[in-house]
Structure 1
Amino acid sequence: MIKRVGFYREFESQDPNDSAPSIHDAVRLHALYDEPRILEYISSGTEIFSAMGAERDVISHDEWIPGAGSLVTDGTWLWPVELQHYVHRYHVELPDDFMAAVRASKYIAPTVLRGRAEEIVREVFGRSTSAAGVNGTKNAGGFFSWYLSDLTLQSWACLLEGLESAGLHIRHRLTGDMVLSRTGKGGSDPRPVHDAPDVAAVLADPGDGEVALHLWFASDTFTVARVRRLDDATMAVVHDLADLQEPEREQVVAALVRALHQFRDDCRGFVLDRAGRSSHDTWDALILERAWPLAPFPDSVAVDADRGVQPSGSDALTRTEYGHLMVFNRNRVDGPQA
């Protein structure tokens, strides 16, 4: 059974209950002698669930914590990603058995193998609605769409560099092969693009159709990025998640968040739908026409906060901020318990 550390009743995203400890009781005035190395350990765990948006510091209320609600593990312990913030800023006291394990490992978080990651996901979520698609089909049609201001050749080059740094590679790490194709208007006539001298130039000019690029996370794991222009000022970059198992899917989502974060200011919105409850095309109207589609709500939807667009049935949603964007997250009904 996975052990939990750093889940406090004040954390909104962690489905708190009265038995969870209060973070105020864990605050300490001074840091431990090895706190920097403990922070390195906490930050280097494997992320198995990625949450979008940000949550306000529950102690001072003066700072936003990006990705709060995401879950990290070392294979034995599970903690929320925001624990790093509270250890760094408030030197929160951690359980003795966790500290002993960190020190015994010489402050190096173990690599979590795929099988163990799958076990932890099943234990934490069970057969959750996040893992099951429409009609119970696992991960059917899952996607992660970002709507970005028209990307230039230079910005695409920066984005590809960011994807590489996050662990998503345009070439297969063993064979060196690249899978790049161009599709005509209406999704017809896909044509491979061989020996592209500049991948960024191809992505920056999808024409009336779309350009698709494989991004390799491992030798047997990839997501397909599909790029299309919505209008003269907006591009949709849609990453397929349908064929990824739970651990790989969450790691790929985390990598995409890291890579795309640098373009947050140029982002008009995004949609994260792990289970594929609706088509990615359904959400184009929200960006172009400010109209919420009549579709099952995905995991997260972000829109420009200044536009005043509100979803229907918002009582079942939580709201967080992500820069200039307002993020609406569908409440998890079977999330981790503190």
Structure 2
Amino acid sequence: MIKRVGFFREFGPPDTDLSAPSIHDAVRPHGLDDESGILAYLSSGTEIFSAMGADRDVVTGDEWIPGAGSLVTDGTWMWPVELRHYVKRYHAQLPEDFLAAVRAARYAAPPVSRKRVEEIVQEVFGRSPFAADESTQASTDGYFAWYLAGLTQQDWNRLLKNLESSGLSARHPLTGDIVLSRVGHDAGHGRRPSQEGALADILADPGNCEITLHLWFASDTYSVVRVRRLDDATTVVVHELGHLEEPEREQVVAALVRSLDQLHENCRGFVLDRAGRSSRADWDSVICEGLPPNAPLPDSIAVDTTRFPQPLGFDDMSRTAYGHLAVFNRSPKEETRA
């Protein structure tokens, strides 16, 4: 189990456990003799979750801390990236067992293997985006998953513009901020986008990370988008729908359909599952390998007929053509059974 250090209750949301230590109790007038080494250690860990943006200093409120909310690990301990700020500015007191580990490592955090990163991500966030048995887990929320091939930086630029013209913007309508985060082994090594060109570059090459992006429908309504590389040729773009209320959900779905229509030549398939009857990963082998489904049927699923002319397992769904895709929609019989 990963050990945690520096998760003071003021760093979290309003409903954070009040039994967590307070940063105000940890403030000290002077730093330890080896504080510079401790700061170096905090900077040398592996960032496994990267949050974009900044939080205000919770002690004085007079400074913004970039990247606050990101998580760093040495494989044994995990800490928030903003901890370094509080140790440097306020000489925040840290547990002796953590300090002993820092000194034993000579103030340089050891490298963390991909396998260990995956274990930590799964422990902290739940189901790992890299887990081999992901397809056995059922989703609880609705989603619209696109399987897109050959997406270049120019394609992503075009897609982001299509999404914006359809009413879904990567920039917050009031602040203009781009809300993006990364989970995975390379989470701490990517750029933070300040403009659409940089954002398109990141999305075109997510590496070993799962990229999470907000697409804003209104100043208080957004769709969460998750981007991951399935294989060398295919990127999965999942638009989460579960947190949206009616009628916003259907408005967002309509906007996504309009956007996908502009990029259908890159589409290997898609899955629309409003109720989350299945996991999004249940359909990876159906879309990419032409295998029959082994999960409850979604509302709609599209398969590339140039690769798999006779898709199997959709006998209870009506079939329509959409360019090179065969689109299967659930029949009234299936709706009644659901």
TM-score normalised to structure 1 length: 0.54
* Residue pair 2:283, 2:293 contacting (<8 A) in 1 also: yes
Is residue 215 of structure 2 the alignment partner of residue 201 of structure 1?
A: no
Query: Where in structure 2 are the equivalents of 1:1-338 lying within 5 Å?
Result: 140-185=140-185, 194-197=192-195, 198-306=198-306, 307-312=308-313, 314=315, 316-332=316-332
Q: Distance in 2 between matches of 1:308 and 1:195?
A: 40
Q: Distance in 1 between matches of 2:269 and 2:148?
A: 7
How far residue 280 of structure 1 moved from its aligned partner, in angstroms, is: 0.5
Task: Give the match for residue 56 of structure 2.
Answer: none
- The structure number with the bigger radius of gyration is 2
Q: Distance in 1 between matches of 2:190 and 2:201?
A: 15
Aligned AA (1:219):
S
How far residue 195 of structure 1 moved from its aligned partner, in angstroms, is: 4.4
How far residue 292 of structure 1 moved from its aligned partner, in angstroms, is: 2.3
* Residue pair 1:300, 1:328 contacting (<8 A) in 2 also: yes
The structure-2 alpha-carbon separation of the partners of 1:248 and 1:140, relative to structure 1 and needing over 3 Å to count, comes to farther
Task: Give the match for residue 12 of structure 1.
Answer: none
How far residue 309 of structure 1 moved from its aligned partner, in angstroms, is: 4.0
* Residue pair 1:181, 1:190 contacting (<8 A) in 2 also: no
How far residue 142 of structure 1 moved from its aligned partner, in angstroms, is: 0.5
Q: Is the partner of 1:231 in helix, strand or coil?
A: coil
* Residue pair 1:181, 1:193 contacting (<8 A) in 2 also: no
Identity of aligned residues (%): 56
Q: Distance in 2 between matches of 1:219 and 1:271?
A: 27
Q: Distance in 2 between matches of 1:334 and 1:292?
A: 17
Any unmatched runs of 5+ in structure 2? 1-138
Q: Distance in 2 between matches of 1:243 and 1:147?
A: 22
Q: Which has the higher contact order (CA 8 A, sep 6+)?
A: 1
How far residue 192 of structure 1 moved from its aligned partner, in angstroms, is: 9.2
* Residue pair 1:182, 1:191 contacting (<8 A) in 2 also: no
How far residue 140 of structure 1 moved from its aligned partner, in angstroms, is: 3.7
TM-score normalised to structure 2 length: 0.54
How far residue 179 of structure 1 moved from its aligned partner, in angstroms, is: 0.6
